Amino acid sequence: MPTPFNLVVCASGGGGNLQAIIDKQDELAVSITLLIADRHCGAIDRAQQQGIAVCQLDKSADLAQQLLHAIPEDTDLIVLAGFMPIVPRAVCELWHRKIINTHPSLLPHYGGKGMYGEKVQQAVMRAQEKYAGCTVHYVDSGIDTGEIILQKAIDVDYSLTPWELGGLVFKEENKLLVDAIQLLKLKASKAAEIQCN
């Protein structure tokens, strides 16, 4: 029997990215072992409905210590799925190339501090870009600066509002996140095979 591929998902919002993973969990052959949330949010409700363990962080306590304590040792991948806090350097270093994030732009464009949600699509449309899109990338100690894993571009439809464009990008982001998890699981499996031989 294959070794399970264990995911920890971190979220701050409604849990749309989390739901995309839940919906493909069997197909991906992954196990979501824990949801970490920095506030009470819809993602917690989604996790509880699926019997996924939940850890809600205490905003008054040290974020790095809480994350280091909460993340199980047998975790294969940590997925930031709309998680707003910046992951502390100590966590990034311990879990190097094991933390991924989604971002609603074609990084390195429209990333960094303050660039999230509808703000990204407003900036894309203000700049009259031909393409919008999304990125899945590794997390490092910067903001949206980690190595890019996958990207998906879509044409910008200027008859839409930034909110509506964001909705289209979010649909693609959910698909891209699932593809990235599948890709990283495959890479981990191949690396394990090489070590065994």
pLDDT-derived band of residue 189, with 50, 70 and 90 as boundaries? Answer: confident
Q: Tell me the residue length of the chain.
A: 197
The C-alpha atoms of residue 39 and residue 21 are separated, in whole angstroms, by 20
The residue extents of the domains of the chain are 5-196
The answer to whether the predicted template modeling score (pTM) of the entire model surpasses 0.85 is yes
Which tokens hold the place of 34? 């824990």
Active site residue 137: no
> Has residue 69 got a pLDDT over 90?
yes
For the segment(s) 5-196, the CATH number from 3.90.1150.10, 3.40.50.300, 3.40.50.150, 3.40.50.170 is 3.40.50.170
Of the candidate ranges 45-49, 85-89, 159-163, 193-197, the one whose mean pLDDT is the lowest: 193-197
Tell me the per-residue pLDDT of 155-174, one tens digit each, with 9 for 90 and over: 999 999 999 999 999 999 99
DSSP three-state, residue 51: coil
List 40, 96, 103, 137, catalytic entry: 103
CB atoms within 10 A of CB 1: 3
pLDDT of 196 higher than 70: no
pLDDT of the residue at 37: 97
Residue 4 has pLDDT above 90, yes or no: no
Distance CA 188, CA 66 (A): 26
Give residue 1's pLDDT. Answer: 46
pLDDT tens digit sequence for 10-39: 999 999 999 999 999 999 999 999 999 999
What share of the chain in percent tops pLDDT 70? 95
The set of residues, in sequence order, having a beta carbon less than 8 Å from that of 109 and lying 6+ positions away, is: 129
